[in-house]
A and B are shown apart, each in its own frame.
Chain A
Amino acid sequence: MTNMNMVEAVNSAIDTMLSKDEDVIMFGEDVGYFGGVFRTSDGLQEKHGKHRVFDSPLSEGGIAATAFGMGINGLRPVVEIQFADYIFPAYDQIVNEMAKVRHRSGGEFWCPVTIRTPAGGGIRGGHHHSQSPESQFTHTPGLKVVYCSTPYNAKGLLISAIEDNDPVIFFEPKRCYRGPFYGDPHNVPTWSDHPEAEVPESHYKIPLGEARLAIEGDSCTVISWGAMVHVCERAIKDSGVSCDLIDLQTLVPWDMEAVVKSVAKTGRCVIVHEAPKTSGFGAEMAASIQERCFWNLESPIERVTGWDTPFPHTTEWDYMPGPDRVIAAIVRTQED
């Protein structure tokens, strides 16, 4: 085991797969010689060759389309979209092409592509470097959607994503690349000494579709993913309420069993995500939870989310859900 930050863990996952499988290749904007604007592919071109890790033209649609073609012809491309905000020129290729090719071809062709993309706020990125567009992909049948939160799950989930034979959209919370984010921009810890930053150098997998029980408790189920997992961890500690904290990890397919088991136990539920509320993935979860756990619920399901507005620049801390809003929601679920 080695202490790694999330950048190093992502790098290690790609490195592991490039070493293990010659069909794996990686490309995207600035990922080759430079090693990526967040350094996630640092050193990989030098190690594995220019023909396996390379820069692409600035064309997200082109990146997705080329990955599609390579994928249906036997390769296993891992591509990077530099910021999730820039994924939309690729949306047609992802939603209409990658997501449907297995089905539309009667199973003759499939597309084992992994699209990695840094997402979420907290870096003063304004509208176009902060969005968390996971629900724009969870609404598309045929795609798997993953959102890591720690170095350990970043590597294990990314390896599973790359080895998966379906297209996977893999979100990396950029705010957590260098350290966990507890909602306080003035207190910026690193990953050193964090137990979830102990990462094996070798190949390991965290299965897609399995949630992680980050904290175990009795009185409330808090569900989250990405950077908000750490905000929830802080909120739970400060709330004094005994909670399960479920780090969903995979959004499609999500771990219904783990969620149902927890809500059946606690009878109360808070869902936290930084993406806007309307049609956010929290809405899908709340609906499914009430279908399955209606008679277990002791209080309404709460959602703490980003506002239904564009992501701001200077006032981002008034946008991103912080521990206070999460605590207030946990407390509300405890009222009879």
Chain B
Amino acid sequence: MEAKQYEQVESVVIMSGGDGVDPLYVPDAPHRPGDEADFTEWPWSPGDLGRPEIDCDASETLDLAEGLVRVLGDDNKTSGDWDPKLSPEVLIQGLEHMMRLRIFDDRMMKMQRTGKLSFYMRSFGEEAVAIAQTMALEERDWLFPTYRQPGAQFVRNRDMVSMICHCIGNEMDNVKGRQMPVHYTYKEGRFISVSSPVGTQFSQAVGVALASNYKGLDEVTITWIGDGASAEGDYHYALNFASIFQAPVILNVVNNQWAISTHKNFASKNGNFAVRGIPYGIPSIRVDGNDFLALYSVTSWARDRASKGFGPTHIEVLTYRAGAHSSSDDPSRYRPSDIHYYWPGGDPISRLSEHLKQIGKWSDKQHQELSEKIDSEVMAAYKEAVKFGDLANGPYPSSDAIFTEVYEEPPWHLIEQWDEMKKWRDSQ
């Protein structure tokens, strides 16, 4: 080793990093395995926060960004300016989509454990996010999701068999065996192809929105990013470009508290993501992400703004990742296993179903029947999908798909390699 670049200068005072021992300050998660979870009860109730005019200025939304928009109270009743006053039919539809997503996820996770697919990611505890928000949009609006918003596809009527075929990587996979499970693409539903690198879609969505604007179309783009990924540059590019060009885009930070094992304390010092939009000049709101009605309402407000030419809205969706990051993750190594039961926002499915019961439009019996109906629907879809093969047993999409769609037309060197691959494949 060469000499150090700098020898310590004697006059330098070592500052403590806060714990009085280590000079370098490093935050930590509030709860680790063995700890008892003790989330502070939320001080916000439905009705605390007003619903501003859609042409409001970013500065007028400070209370909305620092507070929490709720509609469903602890008594399962709705109240306040943000109550979207949805019909029971719409609420039941939302409940059904969320239940379908949870049952679908559970089935796929079981299949992952038996090797029928390589990997899986559930939306457990976050089912309301993509479903309520997509329901609040028009069908022509663009969805630019992460891997935690597959539920939007149910709202846009995607065939479940096709979703499973992608996940198990069989011959009918519309991604042709190229991407990992849950990396859906569904152009018919304006659901844009999911990419693994986190955050990239956030700034790309601004471009999608600006293209709609340029073409003079009344289309809004919605996108999501995690609390963890908001540390990527893409998040900041998005806010700046969206603000400067007044893009018709809805920018959601889904704060589910965890990025694999990394707590949100490593993404934000003060724990609030919503307020970051305000200095960018973007009206910003924090919303209870497990409250279907609040999510629906805030999103339709943002859509209205975007559609009428008032530009972007920045939303922090406050929720909790109840399950593991993915099938490769074991959260009991870094947080108490039962922690999600203590989340003040509760469970999005129970909350909506309790509300429906409260207004006399739902019963335990109906819930049970719907659950069983979806379960057999999922099983039937699964049985249909595996007819076309699965990851454990094949058949797989042809490996010719390795070479197609790399470019619009394969250039000579790819054709040469493709021929070599075929020759090699035929000799096996």
A residues in contact (CB < 8 Å) with B: 23, 29-30, 32-34, 37, 49-51, 54-62, 72-74, 85-86, 88-89, 109-110, 124-129, 163, 165, 277-278, 307-310, 312-315, 318-319, 324-325, 328
Stretch in B25-33, B72-80, B82-90 touching the partner = B25-33
Do residues A313 and B179 form an inter-chain contact, with CB atoms below 8 A? yes
What residue in chain B is nearest A318 (Cβ atoms)? B399
Distance from B3 Cβ to chain A, minimum over Cβ atoms (Å): 10
Do residues B261 and A34 form an inter-chain contact, with CB atoms below 8 A? yes
Which residues of A have CB within 8 Å of B424?
A: 324-325, 328
Do residues A55 and B261 form an inter-chain contact, with CB atoms below 8 A? yes
Question: How far apart are the CA atoms of A23 and B333 in the complex, in Å?
Answer: 29
Residue of A62, A85, A110, A313 with most partner-chain B CB within 10 A: A313
Which residues of A have CB within 8 Å of B195?
A: 128
Do residues A51 and B179 form an inter-chain contact, with CB atoms below 8 A? no
Do residues B417 and A307 form an inter-chain contact, with CB atoms below 8 A? yes
Distance from A147 Cβ to chain B, minimum over Cβ atoms (Å): 22
Do residues A110 and B262 form an inter-chain contact, with CB atoms below 8 A? no
Do residues B334 and A33 form an inter-chain contact, with CB atoms below 8 A? yes
Distance from B321 Cβ to chain A, minimum over Cβ atoms (Å): 14
Which residues of B have CB within 8 Å of A324?
A: 424, 427-428
Which residues of B have CB within 8 Å of A49?
A: 22
Given A58-B228, A312-B402, A313-B180, 4 further pairs, Cβ under 8 A: A72-B5, A73-B5, A74-B5, A318-B421
A sample of 11 cross-chain residue pairs with beta-carbon separation below 8 angstroms, ordered by A number, consists of: A51-B22, A58-B266, A74-B5, A110-B5, A277-B413, A309-B414, A312-B399, A313-B177, A313-B178, A313-B179, A328-B424
Q: Restricting to B383-426, which residues have a CB under 8 Å from any CB of A?
A: 391, 396-399, 401-403, 406, 413-414, 417-418, 421, 424-425
* B198 close to A (CB within 8 Å): yes
Do residues B328 and A37 form an inter-chain contact, with CB atoms below 8 A? yes
Stretch in B127-135, B137-145, B229-237 touching the partner = B229-237
Do residues B32 and A33 form an inter-chain contact, with CB atoms below 8 A? yes
* B197 close to A (CB within 8 Å): yes
Q: Restricting to B172-202, which residues have a CB under 8 Å from any CB of A?
A: 173, 177-180, 183, 195-199
Which residues of A have CB within 8 Å of B196?
A: 85, 126-129
Given the interface contacts A124-B119, A277-B417, does A57 sit within 8 Å of B267 by beta carbon?
yes
Do residues A318 and B180 form an inter-chain contact, with CB atoms below 8 A? no
Do residues A129 and B262 form an inter-chain contact, with CB atoms below 8 A? no
Which residues of B have CB within 8 Å of A308?
A: 406, 413-414, 417
* B260 close to A (CB within 8 Å): yes
Given the interface contacts A57-B228, A163-B1, A307-B421, does A315 sit within 8 Å of B177 by beta carbon?
yes
Question: How far apart are the CA atoms of A238 and B2 in the complex, in Å?
Answer: 46
Q: Restricting to B1-17, which residues have a CB under 8 Å from any CB of A?
A: 1-2, 4-6, 17
Distance from B385 Cβ to chain A, minimum over Cβ atoms (Å): 14
Residue of A59, A61, A165 touching B2 (CB-CB under 8 A)? A165
* B24 close to A (CB within 8 Å): yes
Do residues A85 and B197 form an inter-chain contact, with CB atoms below 8 A? yes
Which residues of B have CB within 8 Å of A73?
A: 5-6
* B348 close to A (CB within 8 Å): no
Closest 4 pairs between A and B when the two form their complex, measured CB to CB: A128-B196, A34-B261, A57-B231, A314-B177
Do residues B396 and A30 form an inter-chain contact, with CB atoms below 8 A? no
Distance from A179 Cβ to chain B, minimum over Cβ atoms (Å): 18
Question: How far apart are the CA atoms of A88 and B232 in the complex, in Å?
Answer: 12
Which residues of B have CB within 8 Å of A86?
A: 197
Question: How far apart are the CA atoms of A110 and B4 in the complex, in Å?
Answer: 10
* B162 close to A (CB within 8 Å): no
Distance from B415 Cβ to chain A, minimum over Cβ atoms (Å): 11
Given the interface contacts A110-B5, A126-B183, does A54 sit within 8 Å of B402 by beta carbon?
no
Question: How far apart are the CA atoms of A32 and B266 in the complex, in Å?
Answer: 12
Do residues B262 and A30 form an inter-chain contact, with CB atoms below 8 A? yes
Main secondary structure of the interface of A (DSSP, over half): loop
Question: How far apart are the CA atoms of A328 and B118 in the complex, in Å?
Answer: 31
Do residues B262 and A29 form an inter-chain contact, with CB atoms below 8 A? yes
What residue in chain A is nearest B118 (Cβ atoms)? A124
What residue in chain B is nearest A319 (Cβ atoms)? B402
Residue of A33, A34, A312, A328 touching B178 (CB-CB under 8 A)? A312
Do residues B231 and A307 form an inter-chain contact, with CB atoms below 8 A? no
Which residues of A have CB within 8 Å of B231?
A: 57-59, 62
* B259 close to A (CB within 8 Å): yes
* B277 close to A (CB within 8 Å): no
* B207 close to A (CB within 8 Å): no
Given the interface contacts A62-B231, A128-B197, does A50 sit within 8 Å of B425 by beta carbon?
no
Residue of A32, A50, A129, A328 touching B180 (CB-CB under 8 A)? A129
Do residues A33 and B29 form an inter-chain contact, with CB atoms below 8 A? yes
Do residues A51 and B262 form an inter-chain contact, with CB atoms below 8 A? no
Q: Restricting to B322-343, which residues have a CB under 8 Å from any CB of A?
A: 328-329, 333-334
Question: How far apart are the CA atoms of A33 and B24 in the complex, in Å?
Answer: 16
Distance from A203 Cβ to chain B, minimum over Cβ atoms (Å): 12
Which residues of B have CB within 8 Å of A109?
A: 5
Which residues of B have CB within 8 Å of A59?
A: 231-233
Do residues A165 and B402 form an inter-chain contact, with CB atoms below 8 A? no
Distance from B395 Cβ to chain A, minimum over Cβ atoms (Å): 10
Which residues of A have CB within 8 Å of B119?
A: 124
Question: How far apart are the CA atoms of A23 and B402 in the complex, in Å?
Answer: 46
Residue of B25, B29, B199, B421 with most partner-chain A CB within 10 A: B421
Which residues of B have CB within 8 Å of A62?
A: 231
Which residues of A have CB within 8 Å of B4?
A: 23, 74
Given the interface contacts A124-B180, A309-B403, A314-B396, does A51 sit within 8 Å of B17 by beta carbon?
yes
Which residues of B have CB within 8 Å of A126?
A: 178-180, 183, 196
Which residues of A have CB within 8 Å of B229?
A: 58
Do residues B26 and A50 form an inter-chain contact, with CB atoms below 8 A? yes
Which residues of A have CB within 8 Å of B398?
A: 315
What residue in chain A is nearest B330 (Cβ atoms)? A34
Question: How far apart are the CA atoms of A110 and B196 in the complex, in Å?
Answer: 33
Which residues of B have CB within 8 Å of A314?
A: 169, 173, 177, 391, 396-397
Question: How far apart are the CA atoms of A86 and B200 in the complex, in Å?
Answer: 11
Given the interface contacts A58-B259, A73-B6, A308-B417, does A315 sit within 8 Å of B402 by beta carbon?
yes
Do residues A58 and B5 form an inter-chain contact, with CB atoms below 8 A? no
Do residues A51 and B261 form an inter-chain contact, with CB atoms below 8 A? no
Question: How far apart are the CA atoms of A33 and B332 in the complex, in Å?
Answer: 12
Question: How far apart are the CA atoms of A74 and B403 in the complex, in Å?
Answer: 48
Distance from A156 Cβ to chain B, minimum over Cβ atoms (Å): 16
Question: How far apart are the CA atoms of A150 and B23 in the complex, in Å?
Answer: 37
Which residues of B have CB within 8 Å of A319?
A: 399, 402
Question: How far apart are the CA atoms of A312 and B428 in the complex, in Å?
Answer: 19
Which residues of A have CB within 8 Å of B391?
A: 124, 314
